[in-house]
Amino acid sequence: MTVVTRFAPSPTGYLHVGGARTALFSYLFARANKGKFILRIEDTDRERSTQESVDAIFQGMEWLGLEHDGEVYFQTERFDRYKEKVQQLLDEDKAYYCTCSKERLDEIREKQMQNGEKPRYDGKCRHLNLPNSDDAVVRFKNPTDGDVVFDDYVRGVITTSNKELDDLIIARPDGTPTYNFTVVIDDVDMQISHVIRGDDHINNTPRQINIYHALGAELPRFAHLPMILGDDGARLSKRHGAVSVMEYAKNGYLPEAVLNYLVRLGWSYEDKELFTKDEMIELFDLKKVNRAPSSFNTSKLDWINQQYIQNADTSRLAELLKNRYNDSGIQVPQNLNLNQVVEMFKARSTTINAMADSSLFLLQDITEYDENTVKKVFKESAIEPLQTLITKCNEIDDWSNADLHGLIEETVNDLQVGFGKVGQPLRVALTGQSSGPANDEIMKILGKEETLKRIQQALSVVKENITNQ
């Protein structure tokens, strides 16, 4: 049997984290079994479906590297096929027209709920042989006895009594088909062998299985993935932070890190934390998906992203860093070597955005210094170290090959002071802050002219502070 899986999102918003994980698991299962992975856009909800959302799905899938096989299917292009299959069920007496009003249906539901019963259609029109009319829907004749039984990859054997199911609507008065019907027709036509989806669909599965049987179609295997929760145990939503895949791209995460994090949401392989895409494909097994909900932990995602940043190609990170600067309206100086910037910050950055924020002082003039740091560091004792550093920097002809760390140590030895007496004023002069990378690395990237400019500026501020005291 050829394994064929599908990802079938509705284009009513962005590609969210839950959808991306479903797409990933479907993709991995297909690739692991040398099968096909199909992308289907379920856009029958014409009021809520938008081209913008379709584009967002494509963009998210492309960013994550989840390549689908063959054409993209759109349900709105298959209405003739759905109409044909609805008519088939009508002709075979497996569906019927129903003209019950909304008011009657509401009244039935209310009475059933008052009696503690599960709300369901009472089958009034089931045997009336009504003709088609402008206000008629088409209902599927669900079996009235027996059970629906299926063996779910994640949940195990699930049994549902047909008495709990009613005759669901498969076509509206205007002829447009409903979800539970179209998804079966599509999965049959596209020869889907394994339906992998969120467990919010698990109540639909028995209804859909009965439609498969009515059509004489072979059942796929089902795998219903547990939901994703936020850190607080509630269902993941916007209030927990970013939930759109492309929002993670915008926030400076690498796609391979997001994939790695997503695959660990409900699946594991021994104690392994980091997986390449090829390793995911090689090791993925639906039977190892956990039944319990997974909790989204941003700190864990940050850690994984940091591991990938540390091992990523420097020039690639430099390009991402440049794009981040440009998106923020920051011009990158032509003489600034972004590869050097990346090498300086990659070991300490959880995201590209964090790297951009930490390195911003390299691109912009220092217009203000940290107030508390100035009080502690920019004292009279800082004047001589800064003046000495200016002198020694001026003596260097070849800045690119200079031993700048040795220059700082030489200043410390000449003045016979502790390293902090030189290093701290120099750091604040170079960065405007009390912390950051090594001073000599910063000086190397800034270049001689900019380094001297910043030290001289700091020296002027120190002298001005002393004068104003």
Query: Cβ–Cβ contacts within 10 Å for residue 398, how many?
Result: 7
3 state SS of 379:
coil
117: exposed, middle or buried (Cβ count in 10 Å: 0-12, 13-18, 19+): exposed
Answer yes or no: are the C-beta atoms of 366 and 454 closer than 8 Å: yes
Q: What is the pLDDT of residue 238?
A: 64
Strand partners, 225: 198
Q: Which CATH number fits domain 238-311: 1.10.1670.10, 3.40.50.300, 1.10.230.10, 1.10.1160.10?
A: 1.10.1160.10
User: What string of pLDDT tens digits covers the 469 residues of the chain?
Assistant: 899 999 999 998 889 999 999 999 999 999 999 999 999 999 988 778 899 999 999 999 999 999 999 999 999 999 999 999 999 999 999 999 999 999 999 999 999 999 988 899 999 999 999 999 999 999 999 999 999 999 999 999 999 999 999 999 999 999 999 999 999 999 999 999 999 999 999 999 999 999 999 999 999 999 999 999 987 778 877 666 667 899 999 999 999 999 999 999 999 999 999 999 999 999 999 999 999 999 999 999 999 999 999 999 999 999 999 999 999 999 998 889 999 999 999 999 999 999 999 999 999 999 888 888 888 899 999 999 999 999 999 999 999 899 999 999 999 999 999 999 999 999 999 999 888 899 999 999 999 999 999 999 999 999 987 877 6
Q: Does domain 365-468 have CATH number 1.10.10.350?
A: yes
d(CA 281, CA 262): 14
Give the pTM: 0.91
3 state SS of 48:
coil
Q: What is the pLDDT of residue 241?
A: 64
Query: Cβ–Cβ contacts within 10 Å for residue 320, how many?
Result: 22
Spans of all domains in the chain: 238-311, 313-353, 365-468
Q: What is the pLDDT of residue 466?
A: 80
CA count, 13 A, side-chain hemisphere, 10: 12
Q: What is the pLDDT of residue 303?
A: 97
